Amino acid sequence: MDSQLLLVLLLLLLGVSGPQAQEPKTRGPSEEPSEEEISEEDGVLVLNRHTLGLALSEHPALLVEFYAPWCGHCKALAPEYSKAAALLAAESAQTRLAKVDGPAEPELTEEFAVTEYPTLKFFRDGNRTHPEEYTGPREAKGIAEWLRRRVGSSATRLEDEESAQALIDAQDVVVIGFFQDLQDEDVATFLALSQDALDMTFGLTDRPQLFQKFGLTKDTVVLFKKFDEGRADFPVDEELGLDQGDLSYFLLTHSMHLVTEFNSETSPKIFAAKVLNHLLLFINQTLAPHQELLAGFREAAPPFRGQVLFVVVDVGANNDHVLQYFGMMAEEAPTLRFINMETTKKYTPVDSGPVTAASVTAFCHAVLGGKVKPYLLSQEVPPDWDQRPVKTLVGKNFEQVAFDETKNVFIKFYAPWCTHCKEMAPAWEALAEKYKDHEDIVIAELDATANELEAFAVHGFPTLKYFPAGPGRKVIEYRSARDLETFSKFLDNGGELPTEEPTKESSAPFPETPGNSTSEPKEEL
């Protein structure tokens, strides 16, 4: 027998079939893959506990949204999230967007300490132990820009006069850091801030000729703008260095117009400006005599920059909610109002004289100097306020009802537009019906958007407060579940939940705040 044939027969007897015997064994249909394939939905990766690790190894920059299918805020974010993914894909960016169904993946929500939805975390270079919390806006362009500034450079390096001037000319607001040493820690502070100030364009330079061109002799951050004075300088303290908080306040203050017109585009920046005092001029922009008042208003503004924000509200535009907040009618324009955003105290001029630079200045000084008393909004007491099981309170009858020493009073402070308030309304009505024959218990409600109280301010809706009978004007904040059973236990136990009753915070969504809130909406697990 031929020796080669003998060798083949021997191999067959041993169960070996040639070179193919060294290939990996094919996985059977019943065997689970070690890694699942990553699916995709509208340009967003869909991850679970099996595929997150694979995604982190494949994508050095990964933004992951932990969402819940039932979460309204997640549903509102979904289309913007997909648009952001498309924007980055069109740029061939290295960053990918992904999402994880939180309730379906309890191991991941526990690992990453997810306690509310939506929660977004940014993973860099596959590191799953220290993701960065997403702090940017919830619209597509903002999401994409937040990621660009973390993956790429957040500030353009400027080498000559031509590049500096081109950057300044390209945008309405440009911030340039002039540093003699780009390795200095002040530069790191500057760049950290530039990552989050998405509405501004940043540059930096160490070139002596640029210091000379812009008249600088020391490290300085300069804000260039195409309005008002055109430029504002923030010198770096030679001993203390660059303070990020101080620089942030400076940029927010000086990037705004001395006089800003209130509208849907400017309102977020107005409320984020960190200037607590706002002076509002209410006018009708369609009337020439009203427009003529703007000159005096603008003339009075410069000395108050950083202390008082000057805002124009057009009563002829869609600003009815602003008028309502100040308890005004459009017919009262032109007029001034002053508000402190921290205390929500409102002020109106003592006299009704014309709006001039002098009268505006005098009004500001009077309020800041404590010479004008704030006014409180209040509706008139309805004649049938106590006829229903739920009593109707307003500013004018609140004190006598809430602090009646013979009554235990449970009050819901609500806003007509608040969805959480509407959802809990049936339980509140049922509670009032249940206790309507208890002479010492009062269930009431107060529209906190139309009535203000001297005792305290209400910032979120619904806010629930319990005023127990007896002296001392005691007030107990209710922070548990908003259902009839828990409400009843709270009342029956004298304004406390029984010790064996766990507080069901998860059943009570965060209070809704008016449109001027800068906090991001989320829902608890």
Half-sphere exposure of 318 (CA within 13 A, CB side): 4
Query: Which position among 52, 74, 88, 98 bears the catalytic label?
Result: 74
Beta strands 39-41 and 44-47, pairing class: antiparallel
Distance, CA of 495 to chain centre: 33
Q: Residue 34: CB partners within 8 Å, gap ≥ 6?
A: none
Q: Which amino acid is at 307?
A: Q
**Which residue ranges of the chain lie beneath pLDDT 70?**
1-35, 499-525
Phi, psi of 313, rounded to the nearest 5 degrees: -115, 120
Q: Residue 170: CB partners within 8 Å, gap ≥ 6?
A: 201
| Per-residue tokens: 58 | 């494949």
- 3 state SS of 173: strand
How many residues does this entry show for the chain? 525
> Residue 9: what pLDDT?
46
Q: Please, are residues 222 and 234 in contact by the beta-carbon 8 Å criterion?
A: yes
Query: Which position among 55, 367, 421, 431 bears the catalytic label?
Result: 421
Q: Residue 33: CB partners within 8 Å, gap ≥ 6?
A: 27
Cα 41 to Cα 47: distance, rounded to the nearest angstrom: 10
Cα 186 to Cα 354: distance, rounded to the nearest angstrom: 48
Cα 357 to Cα 262: distance, rounded to the nearest angstrom: 20
Closest CA to 514 of 460, 452, 446: 460
- For the question of residue 364 being annotated catalytic, the response is no
DSSP secondary structure letter of residue 125: T
| Per-residue tokens: 310 | 């000057």
Query: Which position among 418, 431, 464, 481 bears the catalytic label?
Result: 418
Closest CA to 519 of 459, 452, 463: 459
Model-wide pTM > 0.75:
no
Helix (H) or strand (E) holding 140: helix 140-151
Q: Which amino acid is at 73?
A: H
Please give the sequence-ordered ranges of beta strands (E in DSSP) within 206-365, or none if there are none: 220-225, 231-235, 259-261, 277-283, 308-314, 335-340, 346-347
Q: Please, are residues 173 and 221 in contact by the beta-carbon 8 Å criterion?
A: no
| Per-residue tokens: 440 | 């010492």
Cα 172 to Cα 174: distance, rounded to the nearest angstrom: 7
> Residue 499: what pLDDT?
65
Q: Which residues pair with 95 in a beta bridge?
A: 61
* Residue tagged 């806006």 (tokens): 137
| Per-residue tokens: 52 | 């997150």
DSSP secondary structure letter of residue 237: B
> Residue 37: what pLDDT?
86
Buried b (16+ CB within 10 A) or exposed e, 116-149: bbbbbbbbeeeeeeebeebebbbebeebbbbbbb
* Residue tagged 């049922």 (tokens): 430
* Residue tagged 């709006």 (tokens): 355
End-to-end alpha-carbon separation of the chain, Å? Answer: 78
Helix (H) or strand (E) holding 437: none
Instruction: Evaluate the omega torsion of the peptide bond into residue 131 and state whether it is cis, within 30 degrees of 0.
Output: no
Cα 405 to Cα 401: distance, rounded to the nearest angstrom: 9
Phi, psi of 121, rounded to the nearest 5 degrees: -130, 140
> Residue 25: what pLDDT?
37
Q: Please, are residues 77 and 138 in contact by the beta-carbon 8 Å criterion?
A: yes
Q: Over pLDDT 70: what percentage of the chain? A: 88
Cα 328 to Cα 450: distance, rounded to the nearest angstrom: 11
Query: Which position among 52, 71, 279, 309 bears the catalytic label?
Result: 71
> Residue 353: what pLDDT?
85
CB atoms within 10 A of CB 173: 18
Cα 451 to Cα 398: distance, rounded to the nearest angstrom: 9
> Residue 351: what pLDDT?
82
Pseudo-torsion of CA 198, 200, 201, 204, nearest 10°?
-100
